Amino acid sequence: MMPPTNPLPCFIHRMDSGKFAIARSLVFPWLHGLHPENHLQIGFFTNRKRSLRRTPKCWRGIVIVKLGGDLNTSRIKGAVAPEEILAPSGHEFLAVDPREGFSVRNFQIQTAKLAPLSDIVLYGADGISEKQLLDTAKGVAFAQQLWKDTYDPDNTLPAYNTFILSSSFSELEKKTPELVAINTQGQLTGQVVDFFQWERLEMCDMSRASEFSTNVWQGPTPDHILRPGSCEPILEDFDLFIEASDLASIPGPRLLAKLNKQLDDGPQRMEFPSSGSILIPSSENREVDDLVNTVRWIYYLANPDGPDHHPDADGDIPMLPLSKKSRKILIHCPDGYTESSLLMLAYVMFSEGIPAHDAWLKLHREKKRNFFAYPSDVTFLTTVQGRLLQESPAAHAHGITSFPDPPWFKYCDGSLPSRILPYMYLGNLSHANNPEMLWELGIRRILSIGESVSWNSSEIAKMGPENILHITQVQDNGIDPLTQEFDRCLDFIRQGKHDGTATLVHCRVGVSRSATICIAEVMASYGLSFPRAYCFVRARRLNVIIQPHLRFVYELLKWEELQLQKRKKPLKRELEWPTVAREIALMNKPYSR
């Protein structure tokens, strides 16, 4: 591609909040997808105003298309396959607006929807012939003209170009490596942010193995480490690897005895049921016996010089002779927290001699460990906590005889608000309506986005009315903007940080409106681009998938521009809107219905 011989003069303009709002209104609701037969979608977004259905004239993008279709090698930043924008005929753009249904999260249509409003650049991996490129380019040019004849008969939109990249991919790699996302060997270059890779790295950093009790660690399964040495301790340091798995059952005495003998021969592995997989104990208590026996066995492996072994209450669990050498143990699962949280909580209850609710708080506040428990885990652990504490040496030393659950724990479904930053939590309305739990977690400020809390006067007085901010008239409907509230919300959050306390940001579910605010804060305070801030928050929301809708994500990309202006940096995004939307659609696809 060659630059024009007479380039147009370059103008740089400033944009205030009013013009910013206008810029959004020029592309929405059109980007949501307004198929003429989808009366539900059109009726909701346009309210019978035909002007809102017009194709925006302000957009001119660039779509890079790789011939061959294999995007796992030789991929330029943002490149897509031809079939992502062209119909099977090869000379017509895909019609992607949904014919039926309603959605404010049509990320999957953005690449194809914006292709007709874009200049298109074609390239192929080394080996693609000039004829193949030229034939495809002719099809694209025909599709551009056909679309313009159909949807722009008055010729109000500009003419869009089709380019063929004349340089080979090998030459591109050498001269402009910053444009290469995946090299010819199929390796990520690190030059272009990749959502999946960045989320894994954030997950690795957030859930890296840590010691939550003497010689007992929790972390990701070693096979899932991405960068050796950056996420986990040296594997040879561990004597026992306990993998939490949905397919496992609680180990019995025979297996523990066998492992006990083999520990002197080198590191051993065993499995334990994952969180959410153990049901409430029935009248048959063998499962509870095996649980207590396993936890106690782990405890004395890690603490061979601990208090003398206490026989079980019924005297029917055989005690195992244990070595006086302390063993280092890793409780692990693929993401480092989901499947392994049940065993970790049970172990803390036993080793510390504390009831379930204190185990939740100790791991979160003192050990700074992120974990995720299911409602069934709460029920199970509160049911068996009597047995665990009855057998616990620490509980005997403390003289604990009763352990009533506090009111806040009775309303806890197992999950806590997600700690995104030390001073900012992300949660749902149920979290917000449990003020005693928030107080126990050290949260002293509440930022409600569109949903207000149902607190009584004494609860409001304890928190302080000045520490509660309710942002009204913002629904998760794809219409209401949120940008105009960013500064107000972020100032409120930062005041809490200045005061040395944490703020809970919540909406109803804690995945869209409140997640958008948290992403905006991470972008502003950490100087991250939207893709990196999105993955940062997504990883720390644990098992809850954040889903800011289409308009909120667009607003966050514009917010990124404003942050660059404030820092007096070039207005250069890491990824453009179609690529961002495509990546989010791919990340959410496994969870979509």
pLDDT tens for each residue of 412-451: 999 999 999 999 999 999 999 999 999 999 999 999 999 9
| pLDDT band of 575, cuts 50, 70, 90 | very high
Residue 229 has pLDDT above 60, yes or no: no
With vertex at residue 515, the alpha carbon angle to CA 514 and CA 516, rounded to the nearest 5 degrees, is 90
Residue 581 has pLDDT above 70, yes or no: yes
Looking at 350, 379, 410, the residue that finishes a domain is: 410
Which amino acid belongs to residue 497?
Answer: K
CA 568 from centroid of its chain's CA atoms:
30
Residue 22 has pLDDT above 60, yes or no: no
Q: What is the pLDDT averaged over residues 375-385?
A: 94
Q: Which two structure tokens, joined as six digits, stand for 534?
A: 């999105």
482 lies in a domain? Answer: yes
For strand 443-449 and strand 468-471, is the pairing parallel, antiparallel, or unpaired?
A: parallel
Residue 1 has pLDDT above 70, yes or no: no
Assess whether 309 and 386 both reside in one domain: yes
Spatial CA neighbour of 294 closest among 275, 312, 313, 314: 312
Least confident of 219-223, 314-318, 413-417: 314-318
Q: What is the pLDDT of residue 399?
A: 74
Q: What is the pLDDT of residue 396?
A: 85
* CB neighbourhood size of 570 (10 A): 7
Q: What is the pLDDT of residue 237?
A: 86
69 lies in a domain? Answer: yes
Residue 562 has pLDDT above 80, yes or no: yes
Share of the chain above pLDDT 70, in %: 89
Assess whether 300 and 434 both reside in one domain: no
Assess whether 262 and 302 both reside in one domain: yes
Residue 310 has pLDDT above 60, yes or no: no
Q: What is the pLDDT of residue 7?
A: 39
| Positions of E strands within 74-183 | 75-76, 118-124, 162-164, 180-182
Least confident of 222-226, 520-524, 567-571: 222-226
Q: What is the pLDDT of residue 307?
A: 66
Q: What is the pLDDT of residue 5?
A: 39
Assess whether 223 and 117 both reside in one domain: no
Name the helix (H) or strand (E) containing 67: strand 61-67
Looking at 162, 192, 222, the residue that finishes a domain is: 192
6 lies in a domain? Answer: no
pLDDT tens for each residue of 181-195: 999 999 999 999 999
Q: Which two structure tokens, joined as six digits, stand for 95?
A: 């019609």
19 lies in a domain? Answer: no
Q: What is the pLDDT of residue 470?
A: 98
Q: What is the pLDDT of residue 282?
A: 64
Q: Which two structure tokens, joined as six digits, stand for 575?
A: 């990824």
Looking at 380, 410, 440, the residue that finishes a domain is: 410
Q: What is the pLDDT of residue 514?
A: 99
Query: Is the Cβ–Cβ distance between 181 and 188 less than 8 Å?
Result: yes
Least confident of 144-158, 386-400, 480-494: 386-400
Domain count, the chain: 3
403 compared with 151, residue with greater pLDDT? 151
pTM for the full model? 0.91
Query: Is the Cβ–Cβ distance between 576 and 557 less than 8 Å?
Result: no
Q: What is the pLDDT of residue 16?
A: 46
Assess whether 44 and 184 both reside in one domain: yes
Structural domain span for residue 125: 26-192
* CB neighbourhood size of 494 (10 A): 16
Assess whether 567 and 429 both reside in one domain: yes
Which amino acid belongs to residue 96?
Answer: V
Spatial CA neighbour of 115 closest among 57, 63, 56: 63
446 lies in a domain? Answer: yes
* CB neighbourhood size of 382 (10 A): 17
Q: What is the pLDDT averaged over residues 218-241?
A: 68
Residue 180 has pLDDT above 70, yes or no: yes
Assess whether 392 and 458 both reside in one domain: no
pLDDT tens for each residue of 340-351: 999 999 999 999
402 lies in a domain? Answer: yes
Assess whether 451 and 513 both reside in one domain: yes
pLDDT tens for each residue of 449-465: 999 999 999 999 999 99
pLDDT tens for each residue of 55-112: 999 999 999 999 986 899 999 999 999 999 999 999 999 999 999 999 999 999 999 9
Q: What is the pLDDT of residue 284?
A: 62
Query: Which DSSP category does 244 fall into?
Result: E
Assess whether 244 and 160 both reside in one domain: no
Percentages helix, strand, coil for the chain (3-state, rounded to 5) are 45, 15, 45
pLDDT tens for each residue of 351-360: 999 999 999 9
Residue 198 has pLDDT above 70, yes or no: yes
SS3 call for 99: coil
| pLDDT band of 467, cuts 50, 70, 90 | very high
**Cα separation of 142 and 480, whole Å?**
38
Residue 24 has pLDDT above 70, yes or no: no
Residue whose pair of structure tokens reads 């069934």 in the numeric block: 376
16 lies in a domain? Answer: no
Residue 564's CATH number: 3.90.190.10
Q: What is the pLDDT of residue 325?
A: 87
Assess whether 278 and 153 both reside in one domain: no
Assess whether 466 and 552 both reside in one domain: yes
Q: What is the pLDDT of residue 327?
A: 96
Q: What is the pLDDT of residue 308?
A: 59
Q: What is the pLDDT averaged over residues 404-408?
A: 91
Assess whether 429 and 395 both reside in one domain: no
10 lies in a domain? Answer: no
Residue whose pair of structure tokens reads 């309303």 in the numeric block: 411
Q: What is the pLDDT of residue 51?
A: 78
